[in-house]
Homo-oligomer: A and B are copies of this chain.
Amino acid sequence: MSNHVYKIVELVGSSTKGTDDAIQQAVARASKTLSNLDWFEVVETRGHLLEGKVAHYQVKIKVGFRLKD
């Protein structure tokens, strides 16, 4: 167990609802093609503005998953 290796991919999720949902969107998309997702780390939070309001929250995350031995 002690010698597992993990890979990390970087994604940006976007959402009109909020930052937590933007994270969920990115994780959901990653889980379509990757298995054994283990953790995420937020790298950057930003967003697009339209007519003086937040149109989309955009959260850049790193997602770590265990590689098969």
Using a CB–CB cutoff of 8 Å, the interface residues on chain A facing chain B are 2-16, 18-20, 23-31, 37-42, 44-49, 51-57, 60, 62-64, 67, 69
Contacts and interface: CB of A to CB of B under 8 A. Distances in A.
Given A11-B7, A52-B31, A42 B45 contact: yes
Q: How many copies does the complex hold?
A: 12
Which secondary structure characterizes the binding site on chain A? Answer: strand
A15 to B, nearest CB: 6
Contacts of A2: 14-16, 55-56
A52 B37 contact: yes
26 contacts: A3-B15, A3-B25, A5-B11, A5-B12, A5-B30, A6-B12, A7-B10, A8-B12, A10-B62, A19-B20, A20-B57, A23-B47, A24-B54, A27-B49, A27-B52, A27-B53, A29-B69, A31-B51, A31-B53, A39-B47, A39-B48, A39-B49, A41-B45, A42-B44, A42-B46, A49-B63
